Structure 1
């Protein structure tokens, strides 16, 4: 039917459905997904090869710190990037974050000792934290709310290829030409990706508040204190006697105090609405990544003795499941409510972690971990994007940076603290055997999931005016 025929009959054709790849959003969407792709590749690759890196550099004592450290310092990058975005500078936040990310990869890729590798991880963790917040704010300011679930599904889809080839390729590279190229090779991909994004960012109109908020120096200081406390918590595995329990306790208290100015009021009490949503992000990240870091260590050691590439297959299947589930929720934003996605995802994640714990204790074959961790990825994929949308739909232009940084701070500290606590249990149980120690670490992640089950049922969208009252 033509337009004239439609007019003659009184029928008005429906306007075409907007999509994230429409001309108005195409290049900025592709560019942001490319950056997510590279961050995903680095994450999947490093997780798979870290057992081999720690063995070659004689750095098993720093294994957990190599994961928790970047997450801890990323909080600083998140706070700075969020404040810069609220002041109308999301481009600057993005460019500075990418520069730090690349510098850290170069330091880690040229490491001759475990401490240099950890320092490199800290530097690119700082950049990675800022990168995530900058992208979230750009999404909130450029992409219509109705398209945001689809774009975040695209972010998850950007994990598909890294999940398919990242762990396997990194294992082949580490076994062949050396693990250093797992870091250095990513650098060569970041530069062209950023070059593709720059033209789109230049054309992007950024809303600058009439009165720019001041630089939140106090929040940056609190973020630094929280990062230092997480590092101390990781290093406390070397303490003995009274310090062996006093130092971790003091570190946890400092983290709880330091995080309060960086998140909405009531977050630590799981107040229903935005605060509970932010705390849910912390528990989800803690439960998932707190268990995942030990799976390659288990599968490459006794009794399995798998190659780095084969152990990485567990991460591959999980990443693919995450992306597929994220696509499912993104295509059904009306049929699947935020609350339904959270309940389904929490159930899948809980079954997955409990199943992995049972498989570890009983010594089940590797296929058991492939199945359980695929469930974990599916659970994260269906609920994780919705927590992001809840946060953005509860924000306004004046506080998008703060809320975006609060969610990513929760991601980082939730994972970092869980990994640190699991490392304490791992070190305590290690004299009983590596398998027992891994089971203890996974049990800590299961406990964090139980806390997420409570907070997830209280997460929901708030009106921006109500959410603004919870921001200090």
Structure 2
């Protein structure tokens, strides 16, 4: 008898295999190394951008590199998901690793800002494909009872880069130059591929047992929708970032980008996703809700602490570092036994909302900026138990033929959610906080708290209709 894939079905077996036991050890280590490299790249770029901008004489690299990576990543998410469902995850994974590695080498060798932007595009294509292929790999290689532990390990793989990445990257940039931050990652790809060979050999080059015939299985339509969504997101972010200095062109770009985004996005998601339909549609959307609320504040905590409370850059980074540790702790705790996943997601949304609102206490002079440290540990804990539970539930609810498409959908809403709220936050800082950073930050916090509250209210819709 086949057990239906619902959010309420059990996730445990009497004795689930260990992810570092003989059966999964090399695959788990390979996956974690790949994710760690991608995480380190993400942490490194923000740290070395001042040096890159000065060397290449291009202060506009900040926004352009974000938009270029975002557009490429969105497109790769969808194409890799289609490919994984129809042909297996091996080639999307290998091509993604190859592109990511090539992009790192190109960034290190870039002699102009144009070449650096091209390198960011190549990195986005590779990173987007790799993440989706790894999700499908987890769904097809690991038994369901083991998947929560794998996703928890993925969260933990971001902790080391978050803790040591900025400092190590700064040291490398100051001693041998920023280019070696990118060059140094390239040779580390080889051991990751060697360790993943067993997982790539076991069924990774075969399609799902039953191919989907739904609208998200049509390559041309999905590619066009992904292109519209990615370009729309890029134009929207450009428009929002220029509303303060060129209101009319910025407004036109914002409206045009939003229109393109809304034209393409629904075709990339399960039916009824934008209406938060019960079951899988809401599960997918909760990933975007979490990313929007958390990263919409996370991006501006260093600015707030350095500008309002005169923190050093290193001191401001403490809150983000400990937030990553809270995330890892939450991910670990959700592996201890079988849980009601929608309930965990609601608890996670509650913790994120509470952590976001706690940061407002830093506006009180008598409290000070250090209150953001425990606040962000709480918010990170919510991300750990919530995001991991969303991932586990999405794979559990996905038919085999749609694992790639739904993995791509998770990444799309995550990238869009964080990218758009960060972009909107930047616009608010320019409009409201140009002369008063505290007021701009407070506005961002309130808006992101509303998103977290919305997540608390809709989390139970992850349950399938009885």
Task: Pick the TM interval, shorter chain.
Answer: 0.7 to 0.9
Q: Which residue of 1 aligns with 2:165?
A: 166
Partner of 1:312: 317
Matched-pair contact (CA < 8 Å) for 2:231–2:260: no
Q: How does 1:236-275 map to 2 (within 5 A)?
A: 236=239, 237-238=241-242, 240-275=246-281
Separation (CA, whole Å) in 2 of partners of 1:57 and 1:348: 42
1:430-468 C-alpha deviation (Å, 9 max, x unpaired): 5324454444444443343343333323223579xxxxx
Distance 1:447 1:175 in 2: 41
Confirm whether residue 140 of structure 1 aligns to residue 144 of structure 2: no
* Range moving further from structure 2, 241-250 or 404-413: 241-250
Segments of 5+ residues of structure 2 without an aligned counterpart are 1-12
How far apart, in 2, do the equivalents of 1:31 and 1:223 lie? 29
Matched, 1:186 2:189: no
Query: Distance in 1 between the 2:335 and 2:252 partners?
Result: 46
In structure 1, distance between residues paired with 2:353 and 2:55: 34
Deviation string 1:282-339 (CA, Å, 9 cap, x unpaired) is 11111222222223344455652514x444333221212111110100122x2x3112
Normalized against structure 1, the TM-score is what?
0.85
Structure 1 counterpart of 2:23: 24
Structure 2 residue 421 is matched with structure 1 residue 422: no
Change (3 A) 1:401 1:443: same
**What are the Cα deviations for residues 130-166 of structure 1, in whole angstroms up to 9, with x where unaligned?**
1111001011111111111111111122223223322
Q: CA deviation at 1:51?
A: 5.8
Q: 2: CA distance between counterparts of 1:31 and 1:461?
A: 34
2:21 is paired with a residue whose SS is coil
Question: Match of 2:87, SS?
Answer: coil
The answer to whether residue 373 in structure 2 is matched with residue 367 in structure 1 is no
Deviates more, 1:19-28 or 1:86-95: 19-28
Offset at residue 371 of structure 1 (A)? 2.0
Q: Kindly tell me: are residues 46 and 442 of structure 1, through their superposed partners in 2, closer, same or farther at Cα, counting changes over 3 Å?
A: farther
Decide whether aligned partners of structure 1 residues 363 and 276 sit closer, same or farther in structure 2, where only a CA change above 3 A counts.
Answer: farther
Matches within 5 A, 1:94-243: 94-111=93-110, 116-204=115-203, 207-209=206-208, 216-236=219-239, 237-238=241-242, 240-243=246-249
Alignment CA distance shift 1:459-1:259 (3 Å): same
User: Which of 386, 390, 395 matches 1:387?
Assistant: 390
Worse-matched range after superposition: 183-192 or 440-449: 440-449
1:81 positional shift: 0.6
| Residue deviations 1:332-358 (CA, integer Å, cap 9, x gap) | 2x2x31122112211111122222344
Assess, with a 3 A threshold, how the Cα gap between structure 1 residues 33 and 292 changes in structure 2: closer, same or farther: same
Native 8 Å contact 1:73 1:126 kept in 2: yes
Alpha-carbon distance in structure 1 between the residues aligned to 2:16 and 2:251? 58
Q: In the alignment, does 2:414 pair up with 1:408?
A: no
Contact 1:47 1:293 in 2 (8 A): no
Q: Once the two structures are superposed, what CA deviation does each residue of 1:59-103 show, in whole Å capped at 9, x if it has no partner?
A: 555534533542332111111111111113300000111112122
Question: How many residue pairs are counted as aligned between the two chains?
Answer: 447
Structure 2 distance, partners of 1:105, 1:444, is: 36
> 2:282 matched to which residue of 1?
276
* In 1: Cα distance, 2:50 partner to 2:138 partner: 36
Corresponding residue number in structure 2 for 1:7: none
Q: Distance in 1 between matches of 2:359 and 2:176?
A: 32
1:67 aligned partner: 66
Distance in 2 between the 1:357 and 1:121 partners? 35
Give the 3-state SS of the residue equivalent to 2:335 in structure 1.
Answer: helix
CA deviations 1:402-440 (Å, max 9, x no partner) are 111111111111112222222222222353244544444
TM-score, structure 2 as length reference: 0.86
- After superposition, the Cα gap between the structure-2 partners of 1:244 and 1:153, relative to the gap in structure 1 and judged at 3 Å, is same
Cα distance change, pair 429–311 in 1 and its aligned pair in 2 (3 A): same
